[in-house]
């Protein structure tokens, strides 16, 4: 279980649906018990006796709650049920110079397409060919993102009606460039707010992202 620092001083961890109940039980044990559980459509906050908090931004449409609820102790059955529900999703992983897209179900990639296109790194300021180099790099970047958009349209648009959600990953700037493609408007309209932090897109990275997409991201705030 890898943790990463997040804004506000918290630590984010990804927990698979199968391990979620056990994780919360251990959280309660470590912090002297749980005082309350607060659930709304899009957020779950569990507060421990010592003041530690475990917060979840609920994805995939949120919890089916008519109104927010506050309960004593550890009481998160709706979150556990929501997380364990089988889902078919579309994955779009893009970084400058590479992309990997696919359809996954319950953490398994069913179909995919991965490709790379060379994009040179930035040249040092002051080089004699800096402007020519920058133009060349800009052209490479444009072709790379165009290829990525074409692949997303070819592989994912025909499957859009069969998926529960679209999960994005990679570089936000590259993703924003794809978002500007008119063909992909409906796809990006269905994208989850959470963007997966992924390495250079490859098939192996796509498989890891398929598991990560179904995991619940919990942000911990210790006291």
How far from the centroid of its chain's Cα atoms is residue 79's Cα?
18
DSSP 8-state class, residue 32: T
Q: Count the helix, strand and coil residues of the chain and give each as a percent rounded to the nearest 5.
A: 35, 30, 30
pLDDT digit string (tens) for the chain, length 223 residues: 567 888 778 899 999 999 999 999 999 999 999 999 999 999 999 999 999 999 999 999 999 999 999 999 999 999 999 999 999 999 999 988 789 999 999 999 999 999 886 555 555 555 555 555 455 556 556 787 889 999 999 999 999 999 999 999 999 999 999 999 999 999 999 999 999 998 888 999 999 999 999 999 999 998 7
């Amino acid at each position: 279980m890898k943790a990463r620092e997040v804004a506000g001083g918290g630590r984010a961890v990804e927990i698979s649906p199968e391990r979620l109940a056990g994780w919360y039980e251990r959280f309660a044990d470590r912090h002297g018990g749980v005082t309350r559980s607060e659930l709304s459509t899009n957020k779950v906050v569990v507060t421990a006796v010592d003041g530690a908090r475990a917060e979840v931004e609920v994805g995939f449409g949120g919890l089916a709650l008519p109104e927010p609820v506050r309960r004593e102790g550890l009481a998160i059955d709706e979150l556990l049920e929501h997380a364990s529900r089988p889902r078919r999703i579309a994955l779009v992983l893009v970084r400058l110079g590479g992309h990997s897209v696919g359809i996954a179900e319950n953490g398994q990639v069913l179909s995919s397409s991965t490709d790379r296109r060379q994009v040179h790194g930035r040249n040092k300021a002051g080089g004699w060919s800096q402007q020519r180099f920058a133009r060349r790099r800009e052209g490479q970047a444009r072709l790379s993102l165009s290829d990525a958009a074409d692949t997303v349209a070819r592989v994912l648009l025909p499957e859009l009606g069969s998926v529960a959600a679209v999960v994005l990953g990679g570089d936000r700037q590259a993703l924003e460039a794809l978002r500007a493609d008119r063909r992909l408007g409906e796809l990006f309209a269905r994208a989850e707010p959470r963007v997966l932090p992924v390495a250079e897109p490859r098939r192996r990275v796509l498989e890891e992202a398929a598991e990560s997409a179904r995991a619940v991201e919990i942000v911990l705030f210790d006291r």
